[in-house]
Chains A and B, each alone.
Chain A
Amino acid sequence: MQIQEKMTFETWPAVPEKETLEGRNKFLGFWLFLGGETVLFATLFATYLALKDKVPGPDHPLAQDLYSMPLVFVMTMLLLTSSLTSVYAIYHMKNFNFKKMRFWFIITVLLGLGFLGCEIYEFNHYVHDYNHTFSSSAFGSAFYTLVGFHGAHVIFGLCWITALVVRNWRRGLSLYNAPKFYVASLYWHFIDVVWVFIFSVVYLMGMVG
């Protein structure tokens, strides 16, 4: 099947993201990239665990003093829901329903923005109310680097999905852009999975002690 071909609901394949060779390459290459990203985050997690609560003096806040369940719970729910809505988007992509896909991607972006807002509030809160900063201790450096790397991924993912949606706003689906949407949603899921680990390793374990 040619990549430029104008598609209809009838001709739209069952697995549009893997219909062309470019799509298959993108699909596999992106999974491998996520494999590398996994090692990247594993390294950050290991460092965080090694440097957790490693602070210069007794007056510096520890993990136990910082984290609050309600906020982190809201953030987790926002991100988990956004993962679900991106599944809806891909579901409609597979059914050649561009408008619904677009709608669910917009919802995904909005939820992601909500998450980002909470994270900015959280960091601000730690810095101003607890003096827990990037430079105040090795613990601070490790915390902000791990969670901040994830936050940077969220920002990148939001920009990416937004760019794709805006670019294809009127063009509809084709075998050329279907892999792009699919891969962006994979990235979004990956961000979500990493957050689940951050939620358990950083926040839950941090509150337990």
Chain B
Amino acid sequence: MNSYAQKRGFLATLWDYLTTVDHKKIAILYLVAGGFFFVLGGIEALLIRVQLAVPNNDFMSADMFNQVMTMHGTTMIFLAAMPLLFALMNAVLPLQIGARDVAFPFINALGFWLFLFGGIFLNLSWFLGGAPDAGWTSYASLSLASEGKRIDFYTLGLQISGFGTLMAGINFIVTIINMRTTGMTYMRMPMFTWTTFVACSLILFAFPPLTISIFFLIFDRLFGAQFFNVDMGGNTIIWEHLFWIFGHPEVYILVLPAFGIFSEVISTFSRKRLFGYASMVFATVLIGFLGFMVWAHHMFTTGLGPIANAIFAVATMAIAVPTGIKIFNWLLTMWGGSIKLTTPMLYAVAFIPSFVIGGVTGIMNAASVADYQYHDTYFVVGHFHYVILGGVVFAVLAGLHFYWPKMFGTMLNETLGKITFWLFLIGFHLTFFVQHFLGLMGMPRRTFTFLEGQGLETGNYISSIGSVLMAVASVILVINIIITSVKNKKVGNDPWGDGRTLEWSISSPPPYYNFKQLPLVRSIDAYWHEKMEGRKEMPPAEPLGDIHMPNPSFIPFMISFGLFIAAFGAMYRPDYSWGLPVLIGGLVITFGSMLVRSLKDDLGTYIKKEELDDDKGVKA
């Protein structure tokens, strides 16, 4: 373990990350990969806005636009938003519950590599005959009609990364249930832990329908099945149902952790306990539960009939109640608090009105009768960007600034952070607010251009300008990150000075075993409680002893790599004779690696007490 102190070569570091099972390093991997895909999806968004900046634009062909628009949505949801949230979860969740590690370090790593290989596979489509072009929802009637391999990149890529998400979800649920330290009862868990818990339960139950529906599409397109072929008795509505049974909970999978981050940020920088903690927990669970009952609100115009539409409309509106509870709790947390407007807090404050706008237009969409007007127009585009950007992306940015010191031991520059914030906020509202009105004026969603003289020019032009502001904001964020990393000015345990939860009681970044002695939790906001009692450190829950750590492993990489190879085989099997052997070869790599994992004993290693004492000397 002394090698940690030594200077390492590039290859050694690379190998370290390829085989790591440490949740803090996996967090960095998720952050880098998710950040990369976020930039990619952002560039695609800019291309969309360039094309739509002026009427009758020929910047892109309609075919190209379909690819860019599809990849923007797919990338942002599956490859940017979720991994970035997983980055924050990995970085802080085990620390928040006072754990040395996640429940399944190996599976945690596997989840990351599956996601990455799936994402790479999906994006290789750009170089191998064109990207998916049937929208991120990939409705079967469109996707079966799409020529070439485009949709196969979508199905196989998402299938691989979807397995990864499922692994990550199970890992976090077990971590939260089994790995909490002494005194960390359920009702003392930080809100971010709670929301992650519920979001991961949603992953567990929402991803299997997606897995199956994607299998149907793979089978239909590549293996001659007839699920969606109406001539052979198939039914394309099945795809719509299954996709949205996944798709709606997906919104909460994204937004619940975002709520959790904001709860932490607001409570920290109001220097007050979160108002209505118990009702927050209740609301989170209720949102998670109701999230499964509303999928057909995406299908009001499909023709399910007035009774089904009415039921799903009412159920959808019901979700406004727990969400409203949360909004008021955040407001009342700030009420009377001693507020510090740091960068994360700015995002949190701006999130509340932005998200409320998204919620209100959501209720408008939920009114099934009115939805016939809004459906597939820019009104919907405006609505869900207010929810996803105003909720999730704001939260990721807030969380990034907030937890940066805990992840890297340095503080991002506050001035640059605030400039990023204001540019992003203004750009965001400029881009999407007008889109509601464009939609009401009849501009259809996913259209590649529009005509002059229909009143759509000004709105689209404003929208495109706004997107540029967000791009500039992102560039400043990157500059901020570079400057901070170059300066490399290390900070202490609790750099914000107002940390409330366990992660702030240990060094930044934490040692690889997190806690030398597991902390004893005696209250909600455990670290704040000890500080109020005049202590500087958490009381220990155990005597100093040897610490058990898992071994690094290259097998997660190999399992994922095997599926990546198999996906190419499956895709080219109908056209080339080498397809089948490659498919089988890839599966052999995957299952062979799993077999090795099962048969090779992996007992982990122990860090001796004495080494821990050494560490303390170094850290102090």
Contacts and interface: CB of A to CB of B under 8 A. Distances in A.
Contacts of A35: 204-205
Interface in B225-239: 225-227, 229, 231-235, 238
Chain A binding surface, main DSSP class:
helix
Contact of A138 (B173, B204, B205, B234): B234
A141 B204 contact: no
B103 to A, nearest CB: 4
B447 interface: no
A51 B178 contact: no
Contacts of A3: 603
Contact of A39 (B209, B233, B598): B209
Given A39-B205, A140-B226, A176-B601, A32 B212 contact: no
A4 B205 contact: no
Interface residues of A, number: 38
Interface in A31-58: 32-33, 35-37, 39-40, 43-44, 47, 50-51, 54-56
Interface string A133-163: 0111111111001000000000000001001
B226 A141 contact: yes
A82 B115 CA distance: 36
Chain B binding surface, main DSSP class:
helix
A32 B205 CA distance: 10
B108 to A, nearest CB: 11
Given A40-B208, A141-B225, A24 B233 contact: no
Interface string A1-34: 0011000000000000000010011001100110
A180 interface: yes
A102 to B, nearest CB: 16
Contacts of A164: 598
Given A43-B208, A163-B599, A141 B174 contact: no
A208 B375 CA distance: 42
A114 B595 CA distance: 24
B360 interface: no
Interface string A81-123: 0000000000000000000000000000000000000000000
28 contacts: A24-B178, A25-B174, A29-B103, A29-B107, A29-B170, A32-B204, A36-B208, A39-B205, A43-B208, A43-B209, A43-B242, A43-B245, A47-B227, A47-B242, A50-B238, A55-B233, A56-B232, A56-B233, A134-B223, A134-B225, A137-B226, A138-B229, A138-B232, A141-B219, A142-B227, A164-B598, A167-B598, A176-B601
Q: Which 9 A-B pairs have the closest CB atoms?
A: A54-B233, A138-B233, A141-B225, A40-B208, A135-B224, A138-B234, A39-B208, A25-B103, A43-B212
